[in-house]
Amino acid sequence: MMPGFVLFLISSLTLATVYALVALALNFEAGVDGLWDLGVVSFFAAGAYAYAILTVGPPDQMQVYRLGFGLPLWIGVIGAAGAGTLVAYLIGRASLHLKHVYYLITTFAFAEVIREVLTNERWLTNGTAGMYRMAQPFKSSFETNLYPLVLLLVMVAILVVVFIALNRVTKRPFGRALNALRENEDLAATAGMAPYRYHLRSAMIAGAVAGIAGACYVWFNTVIVPQQFTSSITFVAWTVIVVGGLGNNRGAVLGAFLLILTEDVLRLFDLSSTVAVRVASARVAVIGLILMAVLRWRPRGVLPEKRPRFSRSEALVPAEAPAQGLQQVGSGE
């Protein structure tokens, strides 16, 4: 049996992993690309509910939802990614042809709409009573008291895979194109890039990643209720990437662990109920203080975005290239 402190730490780390995934998603669209999303929680919620509906069993007598496919959990995760992508596509399609501020407004509004839908469409979500007994990965293969650690490892593995994938794309021409659009959209268009197409893709990628994070969140909680998906998730994710370093994938992960662990440390102390209430509200203040401190002393985050340095091409390309290059300078096709 693991001691309470260790269990607590594992639980905090698991939650931090979920936030790291959301932060990576947000960082991709808002940091690598320049789309300010104030409703990343809607991708997250869509993913979580898609996972829940696909994997949960049929309802019991107390529940009113009609669907509950009881499908294998990996299908649930794919469905979660798909649902997040779909929501991003719908929002993006409606708003990305316009100026970016409209994306911000639409995402913000959509986040409220989706929570209302989740609350009121009880046939689908069981309303505020929520759904429970959620399928967790490898649950039956391990002892109950060891399982939190297993779940943490599974989620860390997902985080590592997502991180590698996003970081790879960020550093390659696709990510560079998004950076360029973020920096100067008019100029990027004269390079032959259709801004809408790139923005829609970055939003959909963010949607997929946040959707997967939603499935992880369901594993972590084992129940799902609409109240879990308030806008505070969006704002924590924003704080995380601003503290970590906007545009830097490592920063997003580091920021998530930094913030969530700091926040949770305040829960560690055994307190009387009256003090506990005060400490709980102090947690928000602590996050705010961290944000202010970072903005004051490290305005580009703990790990600022770094540009890649390329070594001179002479070292990279064999001798024939420079001569060829000379002819190519400015030559029309």
Partner 1 sequence: MLETREVSKHFGGVKAVNGVSLMVEEYAIVGLIGPNGAGKTTLFSVISGALSLTSGRVSFEGADISGHRPWEIAEKGVVRTFQTPRGFPRMSVLENMLVFASERTTGFWKNLLAGGRLSAEERRNISRADEILSSVGLLDRRNVLVEELSAGELKLLEFARPLMAKPKMLLLDEPAAGVNPALLEHVVTYITQLRNNGLTFFIVDHNLGFIMDICDHLYVMADGELICSGAPDAVACDPNVIESYIGTKTETTV
Rounded CA gap, 245 and 128, in Å? 36
Residues binding partner 1: number (CB under 8 A): 46
SS3 category, 91? helix
**Residue 4 sits in the site that holds partner 1 (CB under 8 A):** no
φ and ψ at 224, to 5 degrees?
Answer: -140, 125
Q: How far is the CB of 327 from partner 1 (least distance, A)?
A: 9
Return the C-alpha torsion angle 256, 43, 216, 133, nearest 10. 140
Report the residue from 62, 141, 173, 281 that binds partner 1 according to the rule CB under 8 A: 173
Rg for the chain (alpha carbons), in Å?
A: 22
Q: How far is the CB of 32 from partner 1 (least distance, A)?
A: 12
Task: Tell me the window of 118-126, 174-182, 214-222, 291-299 that interacts with partner 1 (CB under 8 A).
Answer: 174-182
Residues 197-216 that bind partner 1 (CB under 8 A): 198, 201, 205
Burial of residue 283 (number of CB atoms within 10 Å: 0-12, 13-18, 19+): middle
- Dig out the tokens for 328 from the structure: 């190519």
Partners of 131 in beta bridges = 224
**Residue 161 sits in the site that holds partner 1 (CB under 8 A):** no
Nearer to partner 1, 285 or 326 (CB): 326
**Residue 62 sits in the site that holds partner 1 (CB under 8 A):** no
How many residues comprise the chain?
333
**Residue 331 sits in the site that holds partner 1 (CB under 8 A):** yes
**Residue 319 sits in the site that holds partner 1 (CB under 8 A):** no
Task: Tell me the window of 12-20, 52-60, 194-202, 270-278 that interacts with partner 1 (CB under 8 A).
Answer: 194-202
DSSP 65-88: --------HHHHHHHHHHHHHHHH
**Residue 329 sits in the site that holds partner 1 (CB under 8 A):** yes
Nearer to partner 1, 41 or 178 (CB): 178
Task: Tell me the window of 2-10, 46-54, 162-170, 257-265 that interacts with partner 1 (CB under 8 A).
Answer: 162-170
Burial of residue 294 (number of CB atoms within 10 Å: 0-12, 13-18, 19+): buried
**Residue 191 sits in the site that holds partner 1 (CB under 8 A):** yes
Rounded CA gap, 165 and 240, in Å? 20
Q: How far is the CB of 219 from partner 1 (least distance, A)?
A: 25
Report the residue from 101, 160, 183, 280 that binds partner 1 according to the rule CB under 8 A: 183
Q: Side chain identity at 95, as an amino acid letter? A: S
End-to-end CA distance of the chain: 72
Binding site for partner 1 (CB under 8 A): 165, 168-169, 172-177, 179-180, 183-184, 186-195, 198, 201, 205, 305, 307-310, 312-314, 316-317, 321-322, 325-326, 328-333
